[in-house]
Amino acid sequence: MHEGAIVHSLLDIAQEIKEKENLKEISRIKIVVGKFHQIVEEVMMTQYNFMKLEYTGFENSELLMQMVDVKAKCNDCNHEFAIDEPIFLCPKCESMNTDIVSGKELLIETMEGTQT
């Protein structure tokens, strides 16, 4: 269960942003999560609602998650395809010469809160 560690580092980053932006009470954090991280949304929410209490100004905030599909691109025929399993084989030309183009994201997109 690595959701706890992810939530912890997200809150650390969020707190830095909060201080930099002079925010007092955070109402909402929107994050973008690539499915590559194999995060269970419900577990993330539970962890978040538990851990936010340790961060001043985050007690009443809510977490919004936007999941991004894992997509790979074939370097041989340029075909782009979504993947559900860690098999990076181009379905078009069967090449293994592929790169992940999305799905590895893990970032805070927006933060809303009241200013001091």
Considering the rule CB under 5 A, would residue 79 count as an interface residue with Zn ion?
yes
Question: Which residues within the stretch 36-55 sit at the binding site for Zn ion (CB under 5 A)?
Answer: none
The DSSP annotation for 44-109 comes to: HHHHHHHHGGGSTT-TT-EEEEEEE--EEEETTT--EEE-SSS----TTT--S-EEEEES--EEEE
| Nearest distance in Å: CB 99, Zn ion | 11
Q: Which residues pair with 65 in a beta bridge?
A: 31
Stretch that binds Zn ion, among 15-23, 34-42, 54-62, 84-92 (CB under 5 A): 84-92
Binding of Zn ion by 71 (CB under 5 A): no
Q: Is 28 in the site for Zn ion (CB under 5 A)?
A: no
Rule CB under 5 A: say whether 70 interacts with Zn ion: no
**How far is Cα 35 from Cα 83, in angstroms, rounded to an integer?**
10
Least Å distance, CB 78 to Zn ion, is: 7
Asked if 101 touches Zn ion (CB under 5 A), the answer is no
∠ CA 34-35-39 to the nearest 5 degrees?
105
Residues at the interface with Zn ion (CB under 5 A) = 74, 76-77, 79, 90, 92-93, 95
